[in-house]
Chain A
Amino acid sequence: MLKTYSNQLDEINEKIVVIANNILEANNVILNGLVECDKDLLDSAKESLKNMSSKTTEIDNNIIKMLALYSPEARDLRLVVSLFKITNELLRASSNTRSFIAGLSNYCTELDTVTVKDFAVPMQKSTVDCLITVVAMLKTTCSDETQELFNKLLIGESKTDDLYELLQESVFKQAPNIEDFGKFTKILSALRKSEKIADRSLDVGTLLLFARVGGEMGVRE
């Protein structure tokens, strides 16, 4: 592999790690905002998500140049194609994080403690764990470690799904006693974004599994 090619590939990977870390950072702030029920803290999470679209577009253009100039093959091809799709997944995760902040910001002081403590906080904690795993997956080149981290990611994403279902059930059980049910559906919809972020994390993990381990794209082993 030419040094110029491997340097460019490393550069792209580093930029993607930075973006993933930004999303992780934002979600960590959201987690603290939920624990504290602090609107300002929640809103401040947006800081880490600035210029995501232009950052991912820049990476996509670099990847297109790399495909045009270096014609990668085998694992190189899998990695480059995966990174190209990963930028899109990260952009969606970033967009979900923004929607999460926007949806929750107005209601965070009104969330009842049961909803927050029993479901929303653990769910967001699990989402943050998924993002931590994704960052670790982006940093490793070892296929065994990738597989191991992916298995951890599967468990984390499944946990987030379960917690969201429990949260939904809990809210619906309380529905007859809730005056402003519309407000609660909005809160539910906002909290759903946390589960979506975990989904996006799993998508990134699946792409990295394809890149590092092989097989077919999108098939989880």
Chain B
Amino acid sequence: MPIMSIEDFSFTYASAPARSLSNINLPIQKNCITSLIGPSGCGKSTLLRSLNRMHDLYPNNEYEGKLMLLNQENNEMENILDIKRENEFIELRQRVGMIFQKPTPFPMSIFDNVAYGLRISGIKNKTELKDRVEDALKGSALFGEVSDRMNKSAMGLSGGQQQRLCIARAVALKPELLLFDEPTSALDPISTAAIEELIVELKKDISIAIVTHNMQQASRISDYTAFMYLGDLVEYGETEQIFLNPREKKTEDYITGRFG
């Protein structure tokens, strides 16, 4: 069952003369990892950022089609493109979190980094805050490494730890869908392995969409893979099928390194 259904979706940047995404139809399956792969400029990050309306931070970008997000309370799909009010955007971004390529810890303590979103969402009770922060850090496989320095600055953590802290910050809000935009491209192999292991663990509770340039990463961790090219979705399927028997020649040429 999809947590999100992308239907006939097109997107045009305000500054661009033509569509950056054309008629995309793609499900993001619940409790699965969906990878978006494709050469630079194919629109995968644009698509990912559409899924929690990040493009609305800049004016006059144009969405068409539908981005249907499952409301897990009533089991109905709701079009997030209908969202207009500021508080609805905040709620959407709590439900659909995002992790960026470069770790973005706030210049504050480790505890406050994770508690930040929780406080914004109205949690003031200290005990509840402490529990939720600890749970998020444990869920992000970071608690053991930082439990004795929760009040120290997050800027002192290594790159891999900072990225896991950002994941903890997103996880603390108990999102339904987590979007990862090349989350390991700035990390060394050990930190990359830790993040990949974490992403695989997270999918038990959270659905995940990930943009990656690393073919091996997509094949290793994702259940479904979508290949995009020049703003079009060329092929979508189970990762095993895409990497073993792609239907489209363009997909095969890309994953075998013949172009891109």
Residues of chain A having any CB pair with chain B under 8 Å? 1-5, 64-65, 68-71
Instruction: List 25 interface pairs A-B (beta carbons < 8 Å), by A numbering.
Output: A1-B193, A2-B193, A2-B196, A2-B197, A2-B200, A2-B220, A2-B221, A3-B200, A4-B200, A5-B220, A64-B244, A65-B240, A65-B244, A68-B219, A68-B240, A68-B243, A68-B244, A69-B219, A69-B220, A69-B239, A69-B240, A69-B243, A70-B219, A71-B216, A71-B219
B197 proximity list for chain A (CB < 8 A): 2-3
Per-residue CB contact flags for chain B residues 193-218 toward chain A (1 = under 8 Å, else 0) read: 10011001000000000000000100
What is the distance, in angstroms, from A68's C-beta to the closest C-beta of chain B?
Answer: 5
Q: What is the interface residue range for chain B against chain A?
A: 10 to 19
Please give, as numbers and ranges, the residues of chain B lying within 8 Å of A4 by CB-CB distance: 200
Closest to B245 in A: A68
A-B pairs, top 6 by smallest CB distance, nearest first, are A69-B219, A71-B216, A68-B243, A68-B244, A70-B220, A65-B240
What separation, in Å, do the CA atoms of A70 and B221 have in the docked complex?
A: 9
Which residues of B approach A to under 8 Å, CB–CB?
Answer: 193, 196-197, 200, 216, 219-221, 239-240, 243-244
Closest chain B residue to A73, Cβ basis = B216
B139 to chain A, nearest CB (A): 16
Cα A70 to Cα B243 with chains together (Å): 10
Residues of B within 8 A of A71 (CB): 216, 219-220
Complex Cα–Cα for A65 and B243 (A): 9
Measured between beta carbons, the chain B residues less than 8 angstroms from A69 are: 219-220, 239-240, 243
Chain B: which residue is nearest A65 at the CB level? Answer: B240
- Bound-state CA distance A88–B147 (Å) is 51
A6 to chain B, nearest CB (A): 11
Q: What's the least CB distance linking B202 to chain A, in Å?
A: 13
Chain A residue at smallest Cβ distance from B215: A71
| B201 nearest CB neighbor, chain A only | A3
Measured between beta carbons, the chain B residues less than 8 angstroms from A65 are: 240, 244
Q: In whole Å, how far is B142's beta carbon from the nearest beta carbon of chain A?
A: 18
B223 CB, nearest partner CB in chain A, Å: 10
* Shortest CB distance B80–A (Å): 31
Residues of A contacting B220 in the complex (Cβ-Cβ under 8 angstroms): 2, 5, 69-71
Q: Which residues of A contact B221 (CB under 8 A)?
A: 2
**Chain A residues with Cβ under 8 A from B200's Cβ?**
2-4
- In the complex, besides A65-B244, A68-B240, 16 extra interface pairs with C-beta distance below 8 angstroms are A1-B193, A2-B196, A2-B197, A2-B200, A2-B221, A3-B197, A4-B200, A5-B220, A65-B240, A68-B219, A68-B244, A69-B219, A69-B243, A70-B216, A70-B220, A71-B216
| In the bound complex, CA of A33 to CA of B97 (Å) | 68
A71 to chain B: closest residue by CB: B216
Give chain A nearest CB distance to B170 CB in angstroms: 21
Would you give the shortest CB distance from A101 to chain B, in whole angstroms?
37
A1 to B190, CA, bound (A): 10
A156 smallest CB distance to B (angstroms): 39
Smallest distance from the beta carbon of B52 to chain A beta carbons, Å? 27
* C-alpha spacing A70/B220, complex, angstroms: 5
Q: How far is the CA of A69 from the CA of B193 in the complex (A)?
A: 15
Residues from chain B with Cβ under 8 Å of A5 in the complex: 220
B244 proximity list for chain A (CB < 8 A): 64-65, 68
Tell me how far the C-beta of A69 lies from the nearest C-beta in chain B, rounded to whole angstroms. 4
Q: Determine the distance from Cα of A5 to Cα of B221 in the docked complex, in whole angstroms.
A: 9
Contacts of B243 in A (CB 8 A): 68-69
CB-CB under 8 A from B239, the residues of chain A are: 69
**A3 CB contacts on chain B under 8 angstroms:** 197, 200
In angstroms, how far is the closest chain A Cβ from the Cβ of B208?
A: 14
CA distance A2 to B217 in the complex (A): 11
Which A residues touch B196, using CB under 8 A? 2
Q: Separation in Å of the B160 CB from the closest CB of chain A?
A: 16
Whole-angstrom distance between the Cβ of A67 and the nearest chain B Cβ? 9
Q: How far is the CB of B220 from chain A (nearest CB, A)?
A: 6
Q: How far apart sit A68 and B244, CA to CA, in the bound complex (Å)?
A: 6
In the complex, what residue of chain B is closest to A61 when comparing beta carbons? B244
Which B residues are CB-close (under 8 A) to A1? 193
